[in-house]
Structure 1
Amino acid sequence: MTKIDFQQYVTEGFFDETFDNDKQVRPHYALFIDRLKKMGLKKLNLLQHSTDRVQMSLGMTFNVYSDNQGIERILHLDIIPRIINGQDWDFLEKGLKQRIQAMNLFIDDIYNDQKILKDKIIPKELIFSSSTYLKQCIGLKPPKGVWIHITGTDIIRGGDGAYYVLEDNLRCPSGVSYMLENREILKRSFPEVFEKLNVRPVYDYTHYLRDMLESLSPVAPASIAVLTPGIYNSAYFEHAYLAQQMGAELVEGRDLVVKNDFVYKITTKGLKRVDVIYRRVDDDFIDPEVFRPDSLLGTPGLFRAYLKGNVVLVNAPGTGVADDKAVYAYVPEIIKYYLGEEMILPNVQTYICDRKDDQKYVIENIADLVVKQTDASGGYGMLIGPKSTKEEQAEFIQKIKKNPRNYIAQPTINLSRVPTLTEEGIEGRHVDLRPYILYGSEMKIIPGALTRVALKKGSLVVNSSQGGGSKDTWVVDNL
């Protein structure tokens, strides 16, 4: 048996979540690391191989539109879980609740009274120039005053070990199905240690999701549908999985029809009314009568039925303005303005290229910064300065000068690392964290998250579309 001893495991230069600088195991990892050492590398590799097979058999695949090797692949699940102690998690939960509450008030304000703009806390040009600010939503009051029902906030740990919010995902955040399925696989892989650690459960997410959706319905019992763009969407597995787990209908835009401002599903037995739609279709495509007229993914009249209060859309249209990476830079001010509180969970320092001084700093220091397109996601539209060429830097400088509103920059942060099984053995790989927050009549944060891991050695990019994988996230209370 090839032993696992971690003698060659490198921790220098990074914050490692499992080992401290003296190579001592952090207390919340001790039981699991002891189990790994007793198991041996051969058994661990066998477990990893069986995990890959289970993922494929379950259909846990996603599509990569730019991949010429074939459009479907599994989101690689690394067999070694990421473990977070309960005290840290409780801090994250407190910070996330504050953030979501403030962001919800902000979205409601900018589509209604616009007090924050009148008080010049945020430049009105920043909001009105955002491609995700929808004029069609001005004056909108969603059910119970909630705009952002489902959030997947991206969190990182820096070299100082502190947690930071990297970005907000307030439109159609993906990945929760992988969090749930990863847990099912991992607890079968390590049943004894899982039980001993008393890991906080995540299995009830879909129950909470269904309860939240029903709480928003104008009628009871509610008829719920999950609106998907279809089988070729990168997250189709998730759409089908969540619909099945909730006992909801999985529909495409063509399966729905609007009559007398009510939404119905077309069935073989006639029309069936739909009360709540958990949409996984972006704003621009949900209704060709109001947004993009060329959309084949939505349903004509859907937005009109929503405005009449005859159907609930989750998340509410228009929330994407708060996903704008330039708006992200103002979240500390947003929290202070609406809640009168200091931010609990800090942002990463952000330079807005539309500001003259910020732009000058970014251009002069582009080799050390991460530059991001304000309306892009999935790891696209981004330059990682220290890993870029002079030509790539020059290209981004021209883009910034041409359209400064479209770019922000942040310091390059060495994301924390956790042990990951590689072809060379167990090595540290960079990770981020995506917790999921549900907001209906109350706010609920599931005590677990999707950990995304950069599988390529040295890479800081964890996005699945850029070759990243995932880990199960165990929240454990101090033993």
Structure 2
Amino acid sequence: MLTAENEPRQPYKNYHDWYSNQKISDLFRKSREAESVFRKTGITFAVYGKEDASERLIPFDIVPRIISGPEWRRLSQGIEQRVAALNAFLDDIYHKQEIIKAGRVPRQLIEKNDAFLPQMIGVRPPGGVYTHIIGTDIVRTGENQFYVLEDNARTPSGVSYMLENRETMMQMFPELFYQNKVRPVENYPKLLRRSLSGVAPPGCMGKPRVAVLTPGSYNSAYYEHAYLADQMGVELVEGSDLRVIDGKVAMRTTQGYEAIDVLYRRVDDDYLDPLTFNPDSALGVAGIMDVYRAGNITIANAPGTGIADDKAIYSYMPDIVEFYTGRKAILENVPTWRCSEADSLTYVLDNLPDLVVKEVHGSGGYGMLVGPTASKRECAEFAKKLRAKPDNYIAQPTLSLSTVPILVKKGIAPRHVDLRPFVLVSSKEIHIIPGGLTRVALKEGSLVVNSSQGGGTKDTWVLED
């Protein structure tokens, strides 16, 4: 919010003027009201492995994160370039594999990767779109440099929190939205349905029927699945509600089974079709991959997209972007050491206390080591894991992440954040929602923003020019 000279930064000027005239006690009352809204609405997430707290209320901070119009334009250009490259990369590795032949990405990194699905070789999704919904995690350093932290190309979550955060802020602080020209995000469900309908199979007659496939109410993101289905005005279904009939995937209704054209799936690849993947899966639909290969249903995101957000592949993203777009990446990667390489592994083991080490298929802040906050014992134990399975890890430097203000007892205080903008891709356009989900590390000094690890969220404002 403030410059080194203790003056408000331009995007925050109107908000700072308003904040300076508020009583802290009133702001805390508003904060409690927001918590009450979230609790009544049921905005929770599940924490796996926590028997005493399987459902938690996601912490919400009422001080918005504000991004200027010019900053957002720079970010949007980089995100659009990256998303286009990711879709081109996926199409290539499941077809001609030109990037492998050119030596830009090692063949073994693709073919021996658990996220690469041989069943998708030669399969081109309707409209040629693989990643229909993408969440790109971005951080900004103290030097005002944006970096992409990771690409979420499988089933990115968190958009429901973005929408609920905005709705709550508009209810509690309507005057702020009159004083600040904040770009809207509340049309996301409408845009999502339009985007999904736009990639319906070629043989679809009339208005495409869309449904959301959920693993069920015990999934950590079930609230979001139900919320998005409701907001889009489509059915929320589980695998038991679906079956293959006459070469189509059909949904059970009160009028009998009716065919589905587009399935927004929130079920992992391995559980999608017991006839093709995990035979013990009860979450997917037996035979859906045959229907998919025949071009009679669109699955969003496409099976096999996980290879695009693998953290080992991430380290090659500058090459991938340049290979498919012909231009240098606008948004830079965080420098990354691939522990599968002997020299990199040696460096990482020698410098564990200064690095952040992540599992290549990990998410949610699980299975990682934050060296600067880890004890000697934790580093030593993690080193054993690295030596035992180096291919499973990458390492990155500990960045000096930017901070934004949060509300504390004494007023406001700085906390580290990241940003997950959401991107919708159809055969005709790439639509980047102006804002996204800001995740904030509520603990002083912490760099871990994941809600499962004690982080919270806040509303993200992108200002009109």
- TM-score, normalising length from structure 2? 0.97
Q: Structure 2 counterpart of 1:98, which letter?
A: Q
**2:346 pairs with one of 360, 364, 368:** 360
- What is the one-letter code of the residue matched to 1:348? V
Please give the alpha-carbon distance, in whole angstroms, between the structure 1 residues aligned to 2:5 and 2:112.
50
**Structure 2: distance between partners of 1:36 and 1:52:** 20
Q: Distance in 1 between matches of 2:247 and 2:410?
A: 60
Following TM superposition, by how much is the alpha carbon of 1:113 offset from its aligned partner in structure 2, in angstroms?
Answer: 0.7
Partner of 1:5: none
Q: Which residue among 118, 128, 131 is the counterpart of 2:114?
A: 131
- Which of 246, 251, 256 is residue 270 of structure 1 equivalent to? 256
DSSP 3-state at the match of 2:333 = coil
Residue number in structure 2 paired with 1:321: 307
* 1:444 equivalenced with 2:431 (yes/no): yes
Q: Which runs of 4+ in 1 moved over 4 A?
A: none
2:157 counterpart (158, 164, 174)? 174
Distance in 2, Cα, partners of 1:204 & 1:477: 16
Where 1:39 maps in the other structure, the secondary structure is coil
- Residue deviations 1:271-298, cap 9 Å, x none? 1111110001111111111011111110
Which residue type is aligned with residue 473 of structure 1? Answer: T
The SS at the match of 1:418 is strand
The within-5 A match list for 1:84-123 is: 84-123=67-106
Gaps of 5+ in 1: 1-17
| Within-5 A mapping of 1:176-215 | 176-215=159-198
Alignment partners' CA distance in 1, 2:410 and 2:110: 48
- Show the counterpart of 1:392: 378
Q: Which runs of no fewer than 5 residues in structure 2 stay unpaired?
A: none
Higher deviation after alignment, 169-178 or 421-430: 421-430
Q: Which residue of 1 aligns with 2:229?
A: 243
SS in 1 for 2:154: coil
Q: Distance in 2 between matches of 1:329 and 1:432?
A: 19
Structure 1 position 460 matched with structure 2 position 411: no
Q: Deviations over 1:16-74 (max 9, x none)?
A: xx111121110110111121121110000000000000011111111112223321122
Q: In structure 2, what residue type is equivalent to 1:255?
A: D
Return the offset for 1:423: 4.1
Query: Where in structure 2 are the equivalents of 1:398-409 lying within 5 Å?
Result: 398-409=384-395
Secondary structure of 1:153 counterpart: strand
Query: Using the alignment, how far apart are the partners of 1:253 and 1:277 within structure 2?
Result: 11
> Which of 26, 41, 45 is residue 28 of structure 2 equivalent to?
45
CA-to-partner distance for each residue in 1:236-290, whole Å, 9 max, x for gaps?
1111111011111100000001122211111232111111100011111111110
Corresponding residue for 2:328? Answer: 342
CA contact (8 A) 1:87 1:477 kept: no
Query: Take 1:118 and 1:236, find their aligned partners in 2: how far apart are those partners?
Result: 41
- Shift of the alpha carbon at 1:192? 1.4
Match of 1:80 among 46, 60, 63: 63
Contact 1:20 1:26 in 2 (8 A): yes
2:275 aligns with 289
Q: Which residue of 2 aligns with 1:12?
A: none
| In 1: Cα distance, 2:393 partner to 2:382 partner | 9
User: Does 174-183 or 58-67 show the bigger shift?
Assistant: 58-67
Aligned counterpart, 1:13: none
Q: Confirm whether residue 65 of structure 1 aligns to residue 48 of structure 2.
A: yes
How far 1:352 sits from its partner (Å)?
0.7
Aligned amino acid, residue 462 of structure 2: V
The aligned residue for residue 371 of structure 1 is 357
* 2:463 matched residue in structure 1: 476
Deviation at 1:323, TM superposition (A): 1.0
Q: Which moved more, 1:39-48 or 1:395-404?
A: 395-404
Residue type of the alignment partner of 2:71: D
Separation of aligned partners in 2, 1:67 and 1:356: 36
3-state SS in 2 of match to 1:400: helix
Q: Which residue of structure 2 lines up, in the alignment, with residue 9 of structure 1?
A: none
Return the alpha-carbon distance in structure 1 between the equivalents of residues 53 and 78 of structure 2: 40
Aligned residue for 2:20, secondary structure, equals helix
Counterpart contact for 1:261–1:301, Cα < 8 Å: no
Distance 1:342 1:92 in 2: 15
Q: What is the one-letter code of the residue matched to 1:458?
A: G
Where 1:432 maps in the other structure, the secondary structure is: strand
CA RMSD, aligned part only? 1.1
Q: Distance in 2 between matches of 1:197 and 1:411?
A: 37
Q: CA deviation at 1:427?
A: 1.3
Question: Normalising by the residue count of structure 1, what TM-score does the alignment of the two structures yield?
Answer: 0.95
The amino acid across from 1:74 in the alignment is L
**Aligned counterpart for 1:300 among listed residues 276, 286, 295:** 286
Which string of whole-angstrom CA distances, capped at 9 and with x for unpartnered residues, describes residues 125-177 of structure 1?
Answer: 11112111111111111111110110001000112111100000000000001
* Aligned mates of 1:66, 1:417 — CA distance in 2: 30
Deviates more, 1:182-191 or 1:274-283: 182-191
Q: Answer whether contact 1:78 1:469 (CA < 8 A) is retained.
A: yes
What residue is the counterpart of 1:7 in the other structure?
none
When the two structures are aligned, how many residues end up with a matched partner? Answer: 461
Q: Distance in 1 between matches of 2:353 and 2:44?
A: 36
Deviation at 1:425, TM superposition (A): 3.7
Residue in 1 aligned with 2:413?
A: 427
Counterpart position of 2:295: 309
Structure-1 separation of matches of 2:391 and 2:142 = 30
Query: Tell me, what secondary structure is at the counterpart of 1:470?
Result: strand
C-alpha deviation, 1:424, in angstroms: 4.8
